[in-house]
Amino acid sequence: MSYKKLSIVIPCLNESAQIVKTLNKLQNLRQRGHEIILSDGGSDDNTLHLAKNLVDTCITSALGRARQMNQGAKIASGDVLCFLHADTISPESIDKKILEIMNTEKSIWGFFNIKLSSKKWQFRFIEWFINKRSCMSNVATGDQGIFVCRRTFNQLSGFSDIPLMEDIELSKRLRKIKIPSCIKITRLTTSSRRWEKHGITHTILLMWQLRLRYFLGTPAKKLADAYIIHNKPESHKSVSHETVIKNKQLVIFIKAPVPGQCKTRLIPYLSAEQACEFYKELVNTCFKNISPLSNVDVAIYTTPDINNNFIQALANTNPVSLHTQQGNDLGERMHDAIHASLQNYDKCVLIGTDCPVLDKTYIDNAFKALNQHDMVLGPAKDGGYVLIGATKINTRLFNNINWGTGLVLEQSLKNNKIAGYSTHLLNTLWDIDEPEDYIKYQNLLNTSKQSQEA
């Protein structure tokens, strides 16, 4: 395969002091047909205004460096992806160097040696050690400009959704496939502000301590918490954006809307196309009802096609991360999503989009219940549930459940009791599965419309 186009993805948060300098060095690449994608995590300074004319695409993503880079990669059109930090200055020939080494060495990924921006002699030793360590271990950090074949990146589902060490984790998966290429002569200039702000000795000891704990299996969230505590930031703005941690995540299960594959129980009362359009309406209503949630990260888990145009548009217009559901049945898929969430968050709440009366207050009540209980369920009038939340999870909780029947809630409560989980029940709501549910919903909409017109 011949690689021809490079997509540079830059995650950022409140980088107005640096972003123009970084992007100016990349303008020649745009003239040569490559693209620059800025993935912003919610900057409230002047970053986006300064960057808008210096990039090809600017998107807003859920906060977190891994999520922001994954979101940028999803819309990239290049054969090769290169991930640059917002405070990293690249040589103007970065595209030529990457494509040359990818094509001549038949490589699938690699990284650059770096130099640090400070002129102090101590930083020459630090950068030498970083470069030596990465070339010997075949593990790169994010400030080394990791580049990777887009096909391989997609096959690996991108960066893992963790708040710290996402670069090291990806490197370890990539090196199992092939040893990386290291560009040694042409180097990236990485900001030394982290060492200068917190002290050289402190920063080195902290980062090696975190890497050792990560190697020994400490969850990434705990490492990120430790990073914040050790650096004693005055506010979130003074911390690298990947370390701003929220302890709550909302997971939303969504089917890719395809006629004949969603809301099938409404057929033939509705045609397959009408049922599909109604499902899209329910999804949009769900996002309208839950917005805005305070201090809650949102993740979409979709099936079967993550590249569906509706799903992609939803992910691009909302501050969410996007994932593929994994598992053979609904129970396995929910367990996988909740388990993944609890690797990075203290509390996870999962909902579908079939309940048009579920709102942010209901979700807030679910998170509050998890302060005192292991699990929370939002019962549905049909015997199922519209919401499940947890602070811990076990596969046994989803065993022997007759999904799609009126026994789901009863069987789930029984499993929870056997597992010794304390469970809180929220108020019972209704969702839309059958034609009579659809008729009820339309009547409510008509009544509401008439009241507004009166």
Instruction: Determine the pLDDT at residue 214.
Output: 53
How far apart are alpha carbons 137 and 414 in whole angstroms? 49
The three-state (H, E, C) secondary structure of 8-45, written as one string:
EEEEECCCCCCHHHHHHCCHHHHHCCCEEEEEECCCCC
pLDDT at position 185 is: 84
> Count H helices, E strands: the chain?
17, 15
* Predicted pLDDT at 242: 41
Distance CA 323, CA 162 (A): 13
Q: What pTM value is reported for the model?
A: 0.54
What integer pLDDT is reported at residue 100 of this predicted model? 92
**Would you say 332 and 289 are in contact if contact means Cβ atoms under 8 Å apart?**
no
Residues 6+ apart with CB under 8 A from 112: 144, 145, 182, 183, 186, 187, 188
* Closest to 62 in 3D by CA, of 249, 237, 225, 238: 249
Contacts of 121 (CB under 8 A, 6+ apart): none
| DSSP string for 158-209 | SS-S-SS-HHHHHHHHHHHH-PPEEEEEEEEEE--HHHHHH-HHHHHHHHHH
State the pLDDT at residue 215: 58
pLDDT of residue 213: 60
User: For 353-409, how does the pLDDT look when each residue is reduced to its tens digit (9 = 90+)?
Assistant: 999 999 999 999 999 999 999 999 999 999 999 999 999 988 888 988 999 888 999
Closest Cα to residue 440, out of 382, 365, 361, 378?
382
pLDDT of amino acid 199? 60
- φ, ψ of residue 323 to 5 degrees: the values are -140, 165
3-state secondary structure of 129: helix
CA distance 66 to 72: 10
Q: State the alpha helices, DSSP H only, in 301-391.
A: 309-317, 330-341, 360-369
Residues (pLDDT < 70) of the chain are 193-246, 453-454
H/E stretch holding 386: strand 385-390
| Order of strands across the sheet that contains 423-425 | 320-324, 297-303, 248-255, 347-351, 385-390, 375-379, 423-425
- Collapsing DSSP to helix, strand or coil, 396 comes out as helix
pLDDT digits (tens, 9 = 90+) for 46-92: 888 888 889 999 888 777 888 899 989 999 999 999 999 998 999 88
| CA gap 199, 222 in Å, rounded | 22
Phi/psi at 401 (5° precision): -105, 130
Q: Provide the residue count of the chain.
A: 454
How far is residue 344's CA from residue 153's CA, in Å, rounded to a whole number?
A: 22
Output DSSP code: residue 291. Answer: P
Structure tokens at 420: 């010794």
The H or E element that residue 69 is part of is: helix 65-74
Rounded CA-CA distance 88/257 in Å is 40
For 201, the token pair is: 């000795």
Rounded Cα gap, residues 407 and 414, in angstroms: 11
CA separation for the pair 277, 268 (Å, rounded): 14
Q: Enumerate the β-bridge partners of residue 183.
A: 112
Amino acid identity, residue 302? T
Q: Which of 190, 200, 138 is nearest to 167 (CA)?
A: 138
pLDDT of residue 79: 93
C-beta of residue 206 within 8 angstroms of C-beta of residue 227:
yes
